[in-house]
A and B are shown apart, each in its own frame.
Chain A
Amino acid sequence: MTTIEYNHIVKKAQGRFNGGIHPTECKTLSNQQAIQSLPLPNFLILPVQQNIGQPGEIICQVGDEVSQGQLLVDNTEVFGANIHAPLAGKIIAIDQYPTNHPSGLPQTCLKIKTAKQQVSTELFSPINWQQVEPQQLLERIKLAGIVGLGGAAFPTHVKLAAQPINTLIVNAMECEPYITCDDRLLQEQSQQVIQGALISAKIVNAKEIIFATEDNKPDAIKQLSQCIKQIKSEVTIKIIVAPTKYPSGGEKQTIELVTGKQLPKGKLPASMGLLVQNVATLFAVYQAVNKGMPLTSRLVTLTGNQIKTPGNYWIPFGTTIESIMQHFDISDFTNQPVVMGGPLMGQPIFNYQAPVTKATNCLIFNIAATDEKMWLTQSTQHQPCIRCGECDKACPVDLLPQQLFWFSQSDQWDNLENQGLFDCIECGACAYVCPSEIPLVHYYRYGKSSIKTIQRNHEKSEKAKKRFEFREMRLARAKEERALKHKKAAEARKKAAQDKKADPTGKQTAINEALARVKAKKSAQNSTNPQPKE
């Protein structure tokens, strides 16, 4: 086994974060083999929105022949990301299909029948990034449809627009068990990832690039440091190695490990002059800029005890889980969820028709051995909370998970918010250690969504109330003004009658009336409120 050599490039992390857990890593299953590809799938189910933010406009039709890399969904929104054809083929349907969307609802997808012959066409011309303006690089990244590939799928061009940035942190922690795609990518494509980092650093004008990783990836660290040594750049590049502990890859935890400081509540990393990017994202940046390739596929860790050859595979977006299962001959896997993402924060997928998307970094095909508690695929009745405090010891953001559980179980929303529910990063460390096996994170998600619904309803009713009050007020004022007018008119009539008696010729009346008119005009000018219209 490789050992880590510490020197002026490779350094130990100075910071630390509270809590955290040490789950079984299960990484050697998949990080020993070189990166591979799968044979072409017969068809793709390509969701038209794969980013956080707004959907884009579909610019193709059923029946269109598309070439690889062709723009299919044009997204000009600020938080938008384009979608390109992962493979050449023919669009055979645009319809609702099941996906991995957290809502569980089907999404609009393009169904593409892939062509037998794949000719790769360059969509963009390669750019020599050293010689162009940052704006042009940013433009390219937006066109290429790049989003954060760590799982959040936040459009990268938006993130790269943050200013001023001093340090670009490359998050290569990959702290979740099973996942090894970043590890493997760094082992094989360090050079390209560093180029991607330098491009990003140029865009945000960062002076320093820090690769942050855990000490369980000695091979990747070795590769990376060798490549860094060869690079000549005024940007300093360093590797900071943290002890392996979950969830060091959480953005807040990474920042604390690297800088020794916590990110103040409600602030973005940019407030500390930091920008955090994921390894795979930087590789995609490199591909888009240097190779002119839009983001149409990604490295996915395929692992679990049901896969005979676990490893990391390049998979075009839209490849269904089913076709992957066919390739690996996974047959006795019925009614079991495939876990998309890691075992601690991943998502169970029961519908194997769901496709790989930009947010998919890992697929785990596991069947629990009987009475094995390490792998939960069935929700069972949990035992009550005994307030043992194991969970608060594990929480990386210093919450009291047992109190959150207590308040969410009894629907005490205010207390739940006061306990910091919205600071919870849903890392699952608490549920992992809970001896009563309470699905704590499930309760927190429930609490969060309940509170959000209540807030929305509250806002709605507040708005309705305001509208109602305003209407009431308006009506009341109109009524008052009408009454005043009538009163005045009545008085005027009375006066006129009296005046007629006193002034039969009407001369005095004419003068009075003229005076009254002047007065009325003046008062109308002074009044800022125009006459209400009913």
Chain B
Amino acid sequence: MSLSSPFFHQALSTSKVMLIVCIALLPGIIVQSYFFSYGVLINVFFCSLFAIIAEYFVLYLRKRKPWKIIKDNSALVTGILMGIAIPPTLPLWMSFIGVCFAIIVAKQLYGGLGFNPFNPAMVGYVLLLISFPVEMTSWLPATTITPNVPDFSDSLNLILFSQTSNGDDVEFFRQLADGYTMATPLDFTKTQFTLGLMTSEILTNETLLKSHHAWHLVNLAFLVGGLILLFLKIIRWHIPVAFLSGIILTSYLLYYYDPNLFMPTSFHLTTGATMLGAFFIATDPISASTTPKGRLIYGFLIGFLIVLIRAFGGYPEAVGFAVLLLNLASPTIDHYTKPTIYGHNLEEHANE
């Protein structure tokens, strides 16, 4: 390609953008591994590794220069996101399948970075969720409420061999002192509702409150990372703001409609992958809507769907599904939300 204007360029590169995203994920990762053991770190490590290997492999087959392209760090982001999203004890071979599917099918088969219509990490996540629903919903209780906290080698063994050197399996670590098995707050409330309990009763449950506290902090940490991204202008405000407004408005309306059947807004905002989704997943620009207005609609509808799926759907966590559905809709959203080009609306008025 011949040289042409402009000759000026500002310094931030795509590789750097991706790297900063990875760094901004750190507070969340650290808090999450504090509450859910070393498994989180181990998963993040292996998923990133698999993502890079898978990317290398495909690029090699596609006869591209793998190292040059891997340097864009986008595979790393996908890997880290998946490592965060999966339960901290998920068997390694499952993560392997998920990550490979994300990179090879959801990203590279569509043509690589920039051409994937779906968020690769979420495709991998949803594939695992559908294929291994039991393992994918087996979250550990927060380390603050259980006597059985896995140490590093326990976590590693659980991930590699599904049991520790003492022969304990995942279920052992999921049991609380009173013999109950703990799930995530989302799972827990879901089951409680099916048992006919009311919101006010659920919200007084001691274990839920404690466990929810852990998720509060995890969400807070991801919020901090997200704000860093906003501050550094790596992401734009439209999608996170619209996403959170979608959650707030929808959950508020449902709770207002029947405070006994639905969880309050504060619960939705601080549980599950809400903040991770708002700042790191829905903001993946490639699969999102790309017009300024479209981003608002896109973000809002994701938030809306998340609350609906959490309230009425079969799966307790909804970010993956909601994001993928809106990925599907984003070309249409783009089409109908083109900004008015300079001087264009005037011309129509002039002709009237």
Measured CA separation A389–B338 after assembly (Å): 13
Decide: A343 and B285 in contact? CB cutoff 8 A.
no
**Interface readout for B283-294 with A: 1 if CB under 8 Å, 0 if not?**
001101011100
Decide: B4 and A384 in contact? CB cutoff 8 A.
no
Which A residues lie within 8 Å of B5 (CB)? Answer: 339, 341, 343-348, 426, 428, 441
Q: How far is the CB of B219 from chain A (nearest CB, A)?
A: 25
Can you pick out 8 interface pairs between chain A and chain B where the beta carbons lie within 8 Å of each other? A252-B343, A262-B342, A264-B343, A264-B350, A348-B5, A383-B113, A431-B9, A436-B13
- Name the residue among B5, B68, B338 with the largest chain A CB count within 10 angstroms: B5
Q: How far is the CB of A487 from chain B (nearest CB, A)?
A: 55
Which B residues lie within 8 Å of A435 (CB)? Answer: 12-14, 16-17
Which A residues lie within 8 Å of B63 (CB)? Answer: none
Q: How far is the CB of B147 from chain A (nearest CB, A)?
A: 46
B341 located at the interface, meaning its Cβ lies under 8 Å from any Cβ of chain A in the complex: yes
5 closest residue pairs by CB, A with B: A384-B114, A428-B6, A397-B342, A264-B346, A265-B347
Which B residues lie within 8 Å of A384 (CB)? Answer: 14, 72, 112-115
Decide: A377 and B8 in contact? CB cutoff 8 A.
no
**B341: which of A348, A374, A423 is its contact (CB, 8 Å)?**
A423
A232 located at the interface, meaning its Cβ lies under 8 Å from any Cβ of chain B in the complex: no
Stretch of A1-9, A31-39, A49-57, A399-407 contacting B (4+ beta carbons < 8 Å): A399-407
B213 located at the interface, meaning its Cβ lies under 8 Å from any Cβ of chain A in the complex: no
Decide: A375 and B346 in contact? CB cutoff 8 A.
no
Q: How far is the CB of A333 from chain B (nearest CB, A)?
A: 15
Which B residues lie within 8 Å of A265 (CB)? Answer: 341-344, 346-347
Measured CA separation A18–B342 after assembly (Å): 9
Which B residues lie within 8 Å of A341 (CB)? Answer: 5
Residue of A nearest to B239 (CB): A389
Residue of A nearest to B291 (CB): A400
**Interface readout for A409-442 with B: 1 if CB under 8 Å, 0 if not?**
0000000000110010010100111011101011
Q: How far is the CB of B75 from chain A (nearest CB, A)?
A: 13
Q: How far is the CB of B86 from chain A (nearest CB, A)?
A: 24
Which A residues lie within 8 Å of B16 (CB)? Answer: 435
Decide: A383 and B14 in contact? CB cutoff 8 A.
yes
Measured CA separation A346–B7 after assembly (Å): 8
| Given the contacts A343-B8, A432-B10, A435-B17, A379 and B342 also touching, CB distance less than 8 Å | no
Chain A interface helix/strand/loop/mixed: loop
Measured CA separation A281–B11 after assembly (Å): 36
Decide: A398 and B1 in contact? CB cutoff 8 A.
no
Measured CA separation A344–B7 after assembly (Å): 6
Measured CA separation A452–B4 after assembly (Å): 20
A373 located at the interface, meaning its Cβ lies under 8 Å from any Cβ of chain B in the complex: yes
**B338: which of A262, A388, A419, A433 is its contact (CB, 8 Å)?**
A419
Which B residues lie within 8 Å of A262 (CB)? Answer: 342-343, 346
| Given the contacts A262-B342, A265-B344, A398-B342, A441 and B4 also touching, CB distance less than 8 Å | yes
| Given the contacts A266-B347, A403-B334, A437-B13, A383 and B8 also touching, CB distance less than 8 Å | no
Decide: B340 and A398 in contact? CB cutoff 8 A.
yes
Q: How far is the CB of A463 from chain B (nearest CB, A)?
A: 29
Q: How far is the CB of B260 from chain A (nearest CB, A)?
A: 42
B210 located at the interface, meaning its Cβ lies under 8 Å from any Cβ of chain A in the complex: no
**Interface residue ranges, A against B (CB under 8 Å):** 17-18, 21, 23-24, 177, 252, 256, 262-267, 337, 339, 341, 343-348, 373-379, 381, 383-389, 392-393, 396-400, 402-403, 419-420, 423, 426, 428, 431-433, 435-437, 439, 441-442, 445
Which B residues lie within 8 Å of A377 (CB)? Answer: 3, 7
Beyond known contacts A346-B7, A387-B288, A435-B16: 5 more, CB 8 A cutoff: A264-B347, A343-B8, A376-B7, A436-B14, A441-B6
Residue of B nearest to A261 (CB): B346
| Given the contacts A387-B288, A420-B341, A423-B342, A373 and B9 also touching, CB distance less than 8 Å | yes
Chain B interface helix/strand/loop/mixed: loop
Decide: A387 and B343 in contact? CB cutoff 8 A.
no
B166 located at the interface, meaning its Cβ lies under 8 Å from any Cβ of chain A in the complex: no
**B114: which of A177, A375, A386 is its contact (CB, 8 Å)?**
A386
Decide: B13 and A379 in contact? CB cutoff 8 A.
no
Q: How far is the CB of A423 from chain B (nearest CB, A)?
A: 5
**A387: which of B7, B114, B338, B350 is its contact (CB, 8 Å)?**
B114
Which B residues lie within 8 Å of A266 (CB)? Answer: 347
Which A residues lie within 8 Å of B334 (CB)? Answer: 403
Decide: B13 and A432 in contact? CB cutoff 8 A.
no
| Given the contacts A23-B10, A343-B7, A387-B286, A392 and B291 also touching, CB distance less than 8 Å | yes
Which B residues lie within 8 Å of A252 (CB)? Answer: 342-343
Residue of A nearest to B233 (CB): A390
Which A residues lie within 8 Å of B288 (CB)? Answer: 387
Decide: B339 and A392 in contact? CB cutoff 8 A.
yes
Decide: A386 and B285 in contact? CB cutoff 8 A.
yes
Q: How far is the CB of A185 from chain B (nearest CB, A)?
A: 24
Measured CA separation A265–B347 after assembly (Å): 5
Residue of B nearest to A433 (CB): B10
Which B residues lie within 8 Å of A18 (CB)? Answer: 342
Which A residues lie within 8 Å of B6 (CB)? Answer: 343-345, 376, 428, 431-432, 441
Decide: A388 and B8 in contact? CB cutoff 8 A.
no
Measured CA separation A343–B295 after assembly (Å): 32
Decide: B10 and A396 in contact? CB cutoff 8 A.
no
Q: How far is the CB of B157 from chain A (nearest CB, A)?
A: 38
Decide: A432 and B3 in contact? CB cutoff 8 A.
no
Residue of B nearest to A399 (CB): B341
Which B residues lie within 8 Å of A426 (CB)? Answer: 5
Decide: B290 and A442 in contact? CB cutoff 8 A.
no
Measured CA separation A185–B343 after assembly (Å): 32
Which A residues lie within 8 Å of B7 (CB)? Answer: 339, 343-344, 346, 348, 375-377
Which A residues lie within 8 Å of B285 (CB)? Answer: 386-389
Which A residues lie within 8 Å of B194 (CB)? Answer: none
Residue of A nearest to B17 (CB): A435
B323-352 interface (Cβ within 8 A of A) = 334, 338-344, 346-347, 350
Residue of B nearest to A442 (CB): B4
- Name the residue among A343, A346, A392, A400 with the largest chain B CB count within 10 angstroms: A400
Measured CA separation A262–B346 after assembly (Å): 8
B256-307 interface (Cβ within 8 A of A) = 285-286, 288, 290-292, 295
Which B residues lie within 8 Å of A177 (CB)? Answer: 8
Which B residues lie within 8 Å of A23 (CB)? Answer: 8, 10
Which B residues lie within 8 Å of A399 (CB)? Answer: 339, 341
Measured CA separation A441–B8 after assembly (Å): 13
Measured CA separation A428–B15 after assembly (Å): 22
Decide: A344 and B4 in contact? CB cutoff 8 A.
no
Measured CA separation A337–B3 after assembly (Å): 9
Measured CA separation A433–B234 after assembly (Å): 12
Measured CA separation A17–B342 after assembly (Å): 9
Residue of B nearest to A431 (CB): B6
